[in-house]
Amino acid sequence: MRSNDEVARLLVEFADRLEATGVEYKPNAYRRAAENIADYPEPIDQLAATGEDAVAEIDRVGDAIASKVVEYVETGSIDELEDLRESLPVEMAALTSVEGVGPKTVGTLYEAVDITTLDELEAAAEAGEIQEVTGFGAKTEQNILDNIPFARQSQQRERLGAARPVADDLCAYLDTLDAVGRVDVAGSIRRWKDTIGDVDVLVASDDSEAVVEGFTDWDDADDVIEAGSHKTSLRADGVRVDLRVVVPDEFGAALQYFTGSKEHNVRLRNRAIAQDYKLNEYGLFDISALDTDVDSDDPAGSDAASDPADSQRVGVKLAGESEAAMYAELGLAWIPPELREDTGEIDAAAEGTLPTLVETGDINGDCHTHSEWSDGGHSIEEMVAAAADRGDDFHCVTDHATGPGIIEDIGLDDDALREQMAAVAAVAADSDITVFHGVETNIAADGSLSTDDELLAELDIVVASPHSALDQDTDAATDRLCEAATHPSVDVIGHPTGRLLNSRAGLSVDMTRLAETAADADTALEINANPARLDLAGEAVRAVVEAGGTVAINTDAHSPAEFDNRRYGVKTARRGWAEPADVLNAKTSAELRAFLH
């Protein structure tokens, strides 16, 4: 089985390798096709099975690309791509993960210095070989060297948006197996961290062998890494998945333990110890009557000869089948996984002051979207109709303005933006939901905006975002964003740091100062729900909440399919302790209009 994302990644690699060899125009065609295939609602392998013509019906997928998609689905490879790999034998994804190193740079450095890997790139930079290449210099070489550690880290972790669909599909599949009683994800993916190491899946069953057999027979599995009786690992869609099978009456304990975080678990374990309890992956046990050190893993009098885990199950078992019972026995309310980072959640659970976190169902619309007027792939009518079909109460049209960081011919100048007003008004008149017209204007390095002030004042909503000069120092970056946040027409600061997960770190910002400034100005700070961004991060959201400010959970959608990314933004907001009252999009259309004006 070939997933849409897998085929899309292959086409992106195709584009990168074409660009690296100096081919013009074609790379962009492959990238546009990759985007539309990734967003396509039907499985690409099923479409390919009916022939090239069916694949070519996908928007911006021409006959040539369609034939390559079918070739890959049928054979597992593309001859032309294999030829490109042979002629340019570089680790393209690893090298281009270094900020400032694009496909053309990779091609140039391969020809000039024979660089094929990240290690070779680092060695060449340290030896001063890159600055000797025509078109490069000492500053470029140093920038590459400075950005390699971030690139190495990014290669070790997967974006949440790449891993979560794999986890969801696997859990849905496992849930169909007769031997599976309960199934859930654990680890950092259950806490919805923006990047993860691998996917952890936990299953409750009395027949672990049947579960393991079903797991390794999963159609989406690429290869089995290792297989045991209770723990098994495989790779699916490029993501490592680790399965653990436990007995049903220990599922809650295991789920709590393997969800983490480590810091949360240590504090929880210490709370158990203070009550003469023992807390571990097998349950919560009262060991007050035992002759033992409560912090010992081998209590006196236990017999672990038959099973080493037996030494962990001594005492009177108080809970283990459910997480809620585990927390309740410790005198705590159940703590949502997104909060389990040891940032005050255990004290709040003990005091009954945990926040009522925002839910996806609380969100009434999107304040940041794009149409084909800029770089979106669909008309305003199509985007609004898709929002209405989802049950949204409102929709904001905020296409890119021209300005720093925006590719020529993508952004709207002031005249085009005024022209768009009439188009949005016409759609709004025929829509059952409220449609707001706005813009995503650009924040220059000095904090000024790329759209005329008088025009901004006429719009319903203004999202101001940084798209350039993302290497400023912390003071300059914070000053820049604070300047934009206090502009009288700005309603939302979009993706405030400009980061791209596993690609670039973005601006370093004093988030406390920005949050306080934005709160005073009644300007919302965006959680961009695109899984490549998730910007603001959860820690920054917490700063906004504590400052009494407002966050906006926006998808930055360029197609209707991207509205599905909303859940990533909501989960990120929950990691920052956000409640519905803290979220701009949780307002009704009337309440939003009042906020904007």
- Mean pLDDT over 323-345 rounds to 98
Which of 23-27, 156-160, 297-301, 544-548 is modeled with the greatest confidence? 544-548
Q: Is the distance from CB of 438 to CB of 396 less than 8 angstroms? A: yes
Tens digits of residue pLDDT in 482-540? 999 999 999 999 999 999 998 888 999 999 999 999 999 999 999 999 999 999 999 99
List, for residues 79-89, the tens digit of each pLDDT value: 999 999 999 99
pLDDT (tens digit per residue) in 265-275? 999 999 999 99
pLDDT at 434 over 70: yes
- The two tokens of residue 379 are 């008309």
The mean pLDDT of 246-271, rounded to a whole number, is: 97
- Tell me the HSE value of 62 on the side-chain side, using a 13 A CA sphere: 7
Q: What is the pLDDT of residue 227?
A: 87
User: What pLDDT does residue 302 have?
Assistant: 41
pLDDT of residue 300: 39
Mean pLDDT, to the nearest integer, of 190-196? Answer: 97
Q: What is the pLDDT at residue 309? A: 63
For residue 167, what pLDDT is reported? 97
Token pair for 97: 């993960």
What letter would DSSP give residue 311? G
pLDDT tens profile 136-154: 999 999 999 998 988 887 7
Residue 33 pLDDT more than 70? yes
Phi–psi pair at 333, nearest 5 degrees: -70, 150
Evaluate if residue 222 carries a pLDDT over 70: yes
Measured CA to CA in angstroms, residue 18 lies from 69, 80, 534 at distances of: 16, 10, 30
Mean pLDDT of 210-221: 95
What pLDDT is recorded for position 257?
Answer: 97
Has residue 128 got a pLDDT over 90?
Answer: yes
Query: Which run of H or E residues covers position 16?
Result: helix 4-20
Neighbour tally for 11: CB within 10 Å: 26
Give the separation between CA 257 and CA 430, rounded to whole angstroms. 53
Q: What is the pLDDT of residue 156?
A: 75
Question: 336-389, pLDDT tens digit by residue?
Answer: 999 999 999 999 999 999 999 999 999 999 999 999 999 998 999 999 999 999
| pLDDT at residue 319 is higher than 60 | yes
Which letter, b or e, does each residue of 453-488 get, where b requires 16 or more Cβ atoms within 10 Å of its Cβ?
Answer: eebbeebbbbbbbbbebbbbeeebbbbbbbbbbebe
Per-residue confidence (pLDDT) for residue 40, from 0 to 100? 81
At 301, the pLDDT band (50, 70, 90 cuts) reads: very low
Mean pLDDT of 54-71: 92
Percent of the chain with pLDDT over 70: 97
474-481 mean pLDDT: 97
Report yes or no: 323 and 252 within 8 Å, Cβ to Cβ: yes
Percent of the chain with pLDDT over 90: 83
Averaged pLDDT of the chain: 93
Average pLDDT over residues 169-194: 97
Q: How far apart are the first and last CA of the chain?
A: 51
Structural domains in the chain? 4-156 (1.10.150.110), 158-246 (3.30.460.10), 251-351 (3.30.210.10), 360-596 (3.20.20.140)
pLDDT computed for residue 305 by the predictor: 41
Among 38, 148, 59, 51, CA closest to 565: 38
Residue 343 belongs to what H/E stretch? none
- How crowded is residue 144: how many other Cβ atoms within 10 Å of its Cβ? 24
